Amino acid sequence: MPRDTDEKKTRKALRKLRKAAERAEAEGIELSEWEQEFVEGIDERLNKYGSAFNDPNLGASDEALSRAQTEILRQLDKKSRGKGGSSFKQRKPLKAKKSGKTFTPNVRDLNDDVEPPADAPVAPKKPELSVIKAVDLGKKPESTRAKATDVKDGTKRTPYKVSPFRVIEGGKSESES
């Protein structure tokens, strides 16, 4: 189902399109292949449908040309008048300026501000660690004392101390969980 477009706007767009093409031909300015196809395609769609676009997001619903088509037609008109070259040329990438100077960033080196320490501090020695065996609460303390006296070098050591903690019966058991 075609859209309702303003017939005045359709005729105006057709007139601008044809004038731009005729003026370019009269001035001897050659339109590129793409520009010629654009003019022919827009002309055909305006005559057949009254509008050259279908998607309402591309322009107003009563307009004959979309915003992009209007801009391209404006550029074609400028080209046909000789006021500027075609803006449809491929753009060249930006290049860095070449000069004899090399770029040096204006930054501060943090190492310049730090003075080396006069006397290097001696790292403290790590304390020697020994393994402490856990006391099994199920065993009697006498067995631990016997082990303390059975030392190979013959010296007596103090017996292991019994942990001040004790197990209280009646708590949650593993079988309940």
Question: What's the pLDDT score for residue 112?
Answer: 77
Portion of the chain with pLDDT greater than 70, in percent: 67
pLDDT one-digit tens code per residue, 30-48: 888 998 999 999 999 888 8
Nearest to 63 by CA among 8, 124, 130: 8
> What confidence tens digit (pLDDT) does each residue in 121-164 have?
677 788 887 877 776 555 555 544 444 444 556 666 666 666 67
Convert the pLDDT of each residue in 94-111 to its tens digit: 776 666 777 777 888 777
Contacts made by residues 106-115, CB under 8 angstroms, sequence distance 24+: none
